[in-house]
Amino acid sequence: MPNRRDQIKEFLKECRARVTPEDVGLRPPRRRRTPGLRREDVASLAGVSVTWYTWLEQGRDINVSVDVLERICASLRLTGDERDYLFSLVHGRPAPPLSEREARFTATLWRTIQYLPVPALVMTLRWDIVAWNCLVAAVFRDYGDIPPGDRNLLKIILTDEKYQRDAEAFDTLARRLLAKFRVDYSQCAGDASFEQLIEDLGASVPGFEGLWNCAEIRNSIRGDYVVRHPDLGDLSFEHSSYVPEGSSFLRLLMFVPRDARTASILASLVTDESDCDQRIQRPTDAAERRPG
């Protein structure tokens, strides 16, 4: 049975072999006896000496910082699972969570929400909408009509005038949403994009500062929701969110009908994928890899 040193050696060697110089922006040499990257290539890309990288690949007992190991993962175009595996081999513990900006939305997850028979969308911890299915567009809103930079669910809801008509109801809604958003924000403290969103909300939402400074916390956004659709009438849903496997910085939000009428209307709205133009770039399987 191979020991840890052999596992590191064989894993890194195999990862090098499948990445071409062109994949990482290097000019291929005229003569190359083996496929893929050389140790010299990986060392150069990761910003370490060839000797140091060779020692790592040999499984020697050397000090490997998180930052350097991350650069090696990026240089070798490792998937999320492969990154976790390498960290476990080298550090003996799982890899640290990826930052919000490194959250990866995969083609598999995109296909999953398209086949769901209920409204479903995927958002980041910042509540930026990255994908939705046809039923979301038909029942709630078509995010394809919103510029990509403005597809933030929290901002869309809190700045929509229809929610602000009843001050008491809006206050209750805002407090409930922000109680959950605080939990997500805490996982990305210091992220400039979060801070900018909070600043924008403070400038556009009446009384936001007081709402944001409230100490209320909610770990879940499960609950009931009634949609007053202009053509379909009142639709009643129960909504809940889930963390997709391997994507801790994404949330899958689903809306399940709470009565027979809503379920019947949803069934009548289900259409072929070809009839649903989301006007977003569909991810490819290659997108599941972390870019360098």
Residue 74 sits in a domain whose CATH number is 1.10.260.40
| Residues 181, 275 within the same domain | yes
Least confident of 166-175, 219-228, 274-283: 274-283
Mean pLDDT, range 141-154, rounded to an integer: 90
DSSP 8-state secondary structure symbol assigned to residue 292: -
At 226, phi and psi to the nearest 5?
Answer: -110, 125
* Domain that residue 74 falls in: 4-96
Q: Which helix (H) or strand (E) holds 284?
A: none
Return the pLDDT at 271.
55
Return the pLDDT at 152.
95
Last residue of a domain, one of 76, 96, 116: 96
| Residues 142, 77 within the same domain | no
In CATH, what number is assigned to the domain containing residue 178?
A: 3.30.450.180
pLDDT bracket for residue 202 (50, 70, 90)? very high
Last residue of a domain, one of 96, 123, 144: 96
| Residues 213, 252 within the same domain | yes
At 124, phi and psi to the nearest 5?
Answer: -85, 175
| Residues 54, 115 within the same domain | no
CA contacts within 13 A on the Cβ side of 148 = 6
SS3 content of the chain, % helix, strand, coil (to 5): 50, 15, 35
Last residue of a domain, one of 96, 120, 135: 96
| Residues 257, 113 within the same domain | yes
| Residues 84, 140 within the same domain | no
Give the chain's mean pLDDT: 83
| Residues 81, 106 within the same domain | no
| Residues 29, 163 within the same domain | no
More confident residue, 251 or 163: 251
Return the pLDDT at 178.
92
| Residues 59, 177 within the same domain | no
| Residues 75, 110 within the same domain | no
| Residues 217, 242 within the same domain | yes
In what side-by-side order are the strands of the sheet with 129-132?
129-132, 120-124, 250-257, 233-242, 223-229
Mean pLDDT, range 202-207, rounded to an integer: 90
- How many domains are there within the chain? 2
Render pLDDT for 55-79 as a digit per residue (tens, 0 to 9): 999 888 888 888 788 889 888 888 8
| Residues 191, 262 within the same domain | yes
